[in-house]
Amino acid sequence: MLERYRIFRRAGGNYYTRDRVTGKSESLETADRAKAKQILAAKNQAVEQPQLNRTMAKAYLSAKSPELLTRTWADVMEHYIQTGVESTRDRKDRAFRSRPFASFRTLTLFDTEAIHLLTVLEHKQAGNSTNHYLRRIHNYALHLGWLLSPVMADAAWPEIRKKRFTAITEEEHRLIVAKELNMERRLYYEMLWETGGSQSDIANLSWQEIDLKEQSIHFGRRKLASKEGGDSLLRIGPRIKALLDQLPKEGYLFPKIQAEQSNHRSTEFHRRCKTLKIQGRNLHSYRYAWAQRARVAGMPLREAMNHLGHKSRAVHIAYSGGAQVAVLPLEFYEAEKEKKIVQFATAQIIDSAAQKTRTSRNG
């Protein structure tokens, strides 16, 4: 095998090595030929050893588990797509069919190096979604034992550029509802505003999940269908009751919207916002709006989290963080404290008088 490095000496000076691959030269900082040859041998051995180790690893693995040498990233993607609910599976499938993943699919896991991951991430059409799903299948392959070690350390992955979602304001919501001529869609937007449910959860809401006797709406989060919890239980207030009175009395509350794909509902909402020149809003903005309204109204954090299906306090705070909460003056709390003290003292006096009366009667 042709050695990668060779040595040469400049007239009356030190020895140098030249890389046959890159063409770069480097001084060995010695004029002693024997010493220079030792350094040269070490450099060539350092290049040859990883290749030798790789060849030996292939020999061992082929005897123990031959599929580890032939398994490709397409196999990982196929297994990973099968996890999660239907909408999540569709989203994964679309992501892996995108151009950044085209050549990566046929690459074997054993031959994958960091440069291959970076090539996917640096594709001109790569974005946050590419970064997210590439990390997921990398970690998924590790968990399955299909990767013997991480291809790239966490610190080497490019940072995900987080998209900032914003809540829809009441004024924007009223403009959208006023402009919407389709009664079912108008009531759908009103229900999103009142419940803070996701677009799919509210679109699939039916009378089976509504208990008029108990005055409650109880539905499971479709996104969390494969996990424990995630249920929402909401009492029916006057505004929700007024909406229910205008909707069909059996089956789905929004039958035509329920039959649409989620991307069709999103597109229709985007079109409505565009006509009103409202930017940066989507159907998910209603969940942010509900969380922020709940915070401003003083709803206990745990109650708001339970309703929205948030198990993480950090996630919920991210939703409600944009709320502008006006703090009441200190004198309000001081006055409330005085009221409680007076009421407590009065209650004690009454209890004491009642106790004396009972004692005198018994005597």
Query: Which of 82, 84, 71 is closest to 147 using CA atoms?
Result: 71
Backbone angles phi, psi at 5, to 5 degrees: -110, 145
Q: What is the pTM of this model?
A: 0.58
Average pLDDT over residues 221-246: 72
* C-alpha distance across the termini of the chain, in Å: 115
Please, are residues 217 and 240 in contact by the beta-carbon 8 Å criterion?
Answer: yes
Query: Which of 261, 189, 208, 198 is closest to 230 using CA atoms?
Result: 198
Q: What digits encode the pLDDT tens for the residues 321-360?
A: 666 656 667 777 678 777 777 666 666 666 666 666 666 6
Q: Which domains does the chain have, with CATH numbers?
A: 5-64 (no CATH), 69-156 (1.10.150), 170-320 (1.10.443.10)
For 305, residues 6+ apart whose C-beta sits below 8 A from its C-beta are: 311, 313, 316
Say how many CA atoms lie within 13 Å of 104 toward its Cβ.
Answer: 28
Q: What digits encode the pLDDT tens for the residues 4-25?
A: 888 888 877 888 898 887 778 8
- How much of the chain exceeds pLDDT 90, in percent? 27
Q: What digits encode the pLDDT tens for the residues 242-281?
A: 999 999 999 999 999 999 988 899 999 999 999 999 998 9
pLDDT higher than 70, residue 361: no
Q: What digits encode the pLDDT tens for the residues 112-143?
A: 888 899 999 988 888 888 999 999 999 999 89
Structure confidence at residue 80 (pLDDT): 93
